[in-house]
Structure 1
């Protein structure tokens, strides 16, 4: 009897010891998104007592951010680390797409990911730890899965590996498979883990409506091939499955497909590209969804976790996507976040206003412990600050700050106060050049108020923006406790808030045979004539216009300012008359180097055409900004494009025509400012009377004022 009582008491104590720390206004749920940042294509693994999420770093250069990993010992509190992965011998790696990892029989860890810089291949790396440092499986850069395998033209991306009960390791891969002959399956050499064999395509009819991201799992004796369908760029993206008695199939489609899709209220938008975590008898699906407000092209994605439930071995029930996430199955030793729900105020707040949205990035979002919301300052200038009121004076030992971008550094200072008027320094990171999420700062003070002042960031155009600020009265152990290497990059450039390049032929006496036009903007210099263009006089008024044929005005010898690189704000304003509008890509202005990255979102140029690029080019139709109402041919129009670091807008004759949410990652390294042509020679063929390029976003009032002060005459088109 005594033994029974002891056993019962021990069990009771264990249950209480492992009960997660409950915080005010909080349940035991993890909360979705589970990661504070832009990440997609997640693979979740548990090695020892630590959970790891390997993912594509999103929302820059067509999802080509740094190769990072998130790790946690409780599934709720995650820490980000940038991994050391050597580049190819001939290519500096910029793609780290859809990673997967295997623990080998030799106790080492094998990492695989897709890259399309030298053909769309899957490369392999090995390390003694799950976080690296990594070394190549092939010194000569031979892919583990090459482009054109198993058939010509097949892009080898989105590889996931599955180890069967007999030790055989199968690989499943493929993207855009609806026109690439279906997913591929093969066997990975389970000794070297560096090459595939016996590979073939799975017939398309066995996985209806496929897109990418195959994932194999096994339920007793049934093989469940899950995959993502429709389009990753919008709300149609979803998760589907088929099942078989064999790893190679044939596969029978699930009768209740899709099992994960955009929910009715749209709070879970475009969910897909998943992996599965089995924890005892419980299964969890880890997937990404799109942000809100929605970013163009669907490349601002976040990772979520929800329950995966089987009806039987070959049938998966429809997943219920939630904002609450799963109930925590793991005990957490992280103490109460005393800033949860605390009152806040900020130096400024970004108000997103467009035809689709009216949304504010409020300061209270920084204390709501919700990774779907953030505080964002009104513009991308610094300094900006946010103040937290803890309500009463309390002991403060640790502050964890989750900035918008985990893999780029922020420079900041944390101060504390008892009265909100007299401030002392808690932590000074004003010279910081190390990234991380969260950024953890320790001290031992008594305070009621905390103020975080953001002084700068690594990337030009990045806002002062914080997913969450968490404050603790005691410190706690951080699993692995990894620290990133400091960056060698200087902080991003600040805007001059000026006209950089411009001319107005209404106010100039320019000779028709002049070789250049003087730049009236801050950069100075001359806009030199290149190729076929001429300055002509209107027959009736005698005023001048530039007639572009196959040429450009080029700002020679002057570098494009760094304020226009990466996510830097800009505006272009010009009066133009295009005699003919057809399917050619006619560029009004460009200032980026398309060859540096050649990835969507890494290039921007203003166009005037109905095909492909529309009003603004970003290299891919999913991200380009089209005109809703194309300005008519043969008439004079005032075209203005603005970008403030969040929203891109095009105005025609003073009226907003179209807008989209964007985040750019432009390169100006070897670029030249051109008017009337792109860096690839996409020439404008029409007339222009004035032009302005600014390193900030013009307001609506400024646009209307410019429309009046630069209003020109209609250049006569010679028939």
Structure 2
């Protein structure tokens, strides 16, 4: 990535961020920072996604980056494009801990619906596997195994007891896959049957590790074949990828497919280290939901942040075709083609970290980009020029870290000189942060102390 010069920074501070209200489908973006890009799917930095749909609503459970949180992230949507963030009451680092727990945070959920009608979550907390249950993906979630891990951290010394993924076969038998290596080497995959409670193993686990396996197993059945997909490489670098192997039983053995890997880094398109995925079907078509490294990469401060993307997938018998990862994302039949947008506006700001994080990034309808003020900016603000005095109803903000409270306030002006504070500065949390402020104004200023802004939508 290029360094910001004075000229480039001035240009960045004056670029117009036009948010189109047109329903016409724009051309597919070819760059990661193109306006209107639909990948990343979620606004913010998340990894290890699990996706389910229940009663017309989508749910994506995911690790909160960087490297987990004391809670899990949950995104919900009724149209697959406009997502709302929350954190389930369970699991938490405090609630899911045992004498064999490690320091690791809450990672890598897998959510499935069992034959008994209840939902079950298998999640990594403290480098061991915990299981919870709920009547709905929306919760309330609670521990389902008497306050003990299903797979304790010392189950197989020398390996990482994480990344559990449940699979329910056509006959109703449920299986659990899990396992990783240490220090980015020597990954092992284990599988065991689950009993009817879905919270206990039914029989001894088996090592079913295929070639080039490191972590993140996900089972897919196609005809009479069982396709074990998984990640290999290092997610902090550019080597992470999705591979797969084929077997005749969920318990293995599995033989790696000749066209593996199916999803990998495309440096020419700035798609770095895609992996730890979930495969789901909708409208008789399979899709792959996965995380990939946020951009610019590598980050200047060495903090690896990942974002969730979705692309189309093709499965033919016991073969999965290579995936073409995109910035445009995938179309799901009957779901919204694009995110809801607001009024167009011209962006300026009190400062910008560099040319890659200018104020126009907060109005480009692209969740890969964000406005970030300079660290020495004591009172950062983002300004929107609507072009003329207009009636506005309110606005919403997609912050960099929706799980953390940020101080946000809004002021308006008709001439750019005299300002009226219409939203008081108070801690606000979530995504989107919705603010109702009915006023007539040409200019709006968003004061966002110690927070980057992925998107600011004005209605």
**Equivalent-residue separation in structure 2 for 1:285 and 1:298 (angstroms):** 25
Note the C-alpha offset of 1:454.
1.8
Residue of structure 2 in register with 1:80 after alignment: 85
Note the C-alpha offset of 1:208.
1.8
Note the C-alpha offset of 1:306.
0.6
Residue in structure 1 matching 2:326, options 298, 322, 325: 322
**Equivalent-residue separation in structure 2 for 1:199 and 1:255 (angstroms):** 30
Within 5 Å, give how 1:640-719 maps onto structure 2.
none
Gapped runs of 5+ residues in structure 1?
1-20, 352-358, 456-462, 473-719
Q: Tell whether the 8 Å contact from 1:35 to 1:302 is kept in structure 2 after alignment.
A: yes
Describe the SS at the equivalent of 1:172. strand
C-alpha spacing 1:332/1:42, structure 2 compared with 1 (3 Å) = same
Residue in structure 1 matching 2:407, options 411, 425, 433: 411
Note the C-alpha offset of 1:329.
2.8
**Equivalent-residue separation in structure 2 for 1:297 and 1:335 (angstroms):** 31
Residue of structure 2 in register with 1:299 after alignment: 304
Note the C-alpha offset of 1:264.
3.8
CA RMSD, Structure 1 to Structure 2 (Å): 2.7
**Equivalent-residue separation in structure 1 for 2:194 and 2:145 (angstroms):** 15
Residue of structure 1 in register with 2:112 after alignment: 102
Residue of structure 2 in register with 1:187 after alignment: 193
Note the C-alpha offset of 1:345.
0.2
Work out whether 1:38 is the aligned partner of 2:33. Answer: no
Larger Rg: 1
Note the C-alpha offset of 1:251.
1.6
Describe the SS at the equivalent of 2:43. coil
Q: Tell whether the 8 Å contact from 1:411 to 1:454 is kept in structure 2 after alignment.
A: yes
Residue in structure 1 matching 2:396, options 396, 400, 405: 400
Residue of structure 2 in register with 1:169 after alignment: 174
Within 5 Å, give how 1:265-276 maps onto structure 2.
265-276=268-279
**Equivalent-residue separation in structure 2 for 1:73 and 1:233 (angstroms):** 32
Residue-by-residue CA offset, 1:42-78 (whole Å, 9 max, x unaligned): 111111211111111012xx33353220111111111
Work out whether 1:438 is the aligned partner of 2:432. Answer: yes
Residue in structure 2 matching 1:122, options 123, 126, 129: 129
Residue-by-residue CA offset, 1:586-607 (whole Å, 9 max, x unaligned): xxxxxxxxxxxxxxxxxxxxxx
Work out whether 1:466 is the aligned partner of 2:453. Answer: yes
Residue of structure 1 in register with 2:442 after alignment: 448
**Equivalent-residue separation in structure 2 for 1:239 and 1:334 (angstroms):** 27
Describe the SS at the equivalent of 1:449. strand
C-alpha spacing 1:372/1:334, structure 2 compared with 1 (3 Å) = closer
Q: Tell whether the 8 Å contact from 1:339 to 1:367 is kept in structure 2 after alignment.
A: no
Q: Tell whether the 8 Å contact from 1:147 to 1:153 is kept in structure 2 after alignment.
A: no
C-alpha spacing 1:154/1:264, structure 2 compared with 1 (3 Å) = closer
Gapped runs of 5+ residues in structure 2?
1-20, 29-35
Query: TM-score scaled to structure 2, two decimals?
Result: 0.85
Residue of structure 2 in register with 1:112 after alignment: 122
Residue of structure 2 in register with 1:246 after alignment: 249
Query: TM-score scaled to structure 1, two decimals?
Result: 0.56
**Equivalent-residue separation in structure 1 for 2:78 and 2:341 (angstroms):** 17
Residue in structure 2 matching 1:382, options 362, 378, 384: 378
Which of 1 and 2 has higher RCO (CA within 8 Å, sep 6+)?
Answer: 2
Q: Tell whether the 8 Å contact from 1:184 to 1:199 is kept in structure 2 after alignment.
A: no
Residue of structure 2 in register with 1:287 after alignment: 290
Note the C-alpha offset of 1:317.
0.9
Residue of structure 1 in register with 2:10 after alignment: none
Residue of structure 2 in register with 1:263 after alignment: 266
Q: Tell whether the 8 Å contact from 2:206 to 2:251 is kept in structure 1 after alignment.
A: no
**Equivalent-residue separation in structure 1 for 2:364 and 2:357 (angstroms):** 12
Residue-by-residue CA offset, 1:417-465 (whole Å, 9 max, x unaligned): 333233333422x122x4201101123333322210124xxxxxxx331
**Equivalent-residue separation in structure 1 for 2:337 and 2:325 (angstroms):** 27
Describe the SS at the equivalent of 1:265. helix
Within 5 Å, give how 1:589-608 maps onto structure 2.
none
Residue of structure 1 in register with 2:161 after alignment: 156
Q: Tell whether the 8 Å contact from 1:419 to 1:448 is kept in structure 2 after alignment.
A: yes
Residue of structure 1 in register with 2:138 after alignment: 131
C-alpha spacing 1:339/1:230, structure 2 compared with 1 (3 Å) = same
Residue in structure 2 matching 1:214, options 214, 217, 229: 217
Q: Tell whether the 8 Å contact from 2:341 to 2:365 is kept in structure 1 after alignment.
A: no
Residue of structure 2 in register with 1:592 after alignment: none
Note the C-alpha offset of 1:152.
4.6
Residue of structure 2 in register with 1:423 after alignment: 419
Residue in structure 1 matching 2:367, options 356, 364, 371: 371
Note the C-alpha offset of 1:224.
1.0
Describe the SS at the equivalent of 2:39. coil
Residue-by-residue CA offset, 1:467-490 (whole Å, 9 max, x unaligned): 001122xxxxxxxxxxxxxxxxxx
Describe the SS at the equivalent of 2:203. strand
Note the C-alpha offset of 1:360.
3.3
Residue-by-residue CA offset, 1:189-230 (whole Å, 9 max, x unaligned): 2x31111133444454xx221111000011222211100012
C-alpha spacing 1:188/1:444, structure 2 compared with 1 (3 Å) = same
Count of aligned residue pairs for this structure pair: 425
**Equivalent-residue separation in structure 2 for 1:88 and 1:241 (angstroms):** 31
C-alpha spacing 1:47/1:382, structure 2 compared with 1 (3 Å) = farther
Describe the SS at the equivalent of 2:202. strand
Describe the SS at the equivalent of 2:417. coil
C-alpha spacing 1:336/1:245, structure 2 compared with 1 (3 Å) = closer
Q: Tell whether the 8 Å contact from 1:234 to 1:270 is kept in structure 2 after alignment.
A: yes
C-alpha spacing 1:199/1:391, structure 2 compared with 1 (3 Å) = farther
**Equivalent-residue separation in structure 2 for 1:248 and 1:165 (angstroms):** 15
Q: Tell whether the 8 Å contact from 1:63 to 1:299 is kept in structure 2 after alignment.
A: no
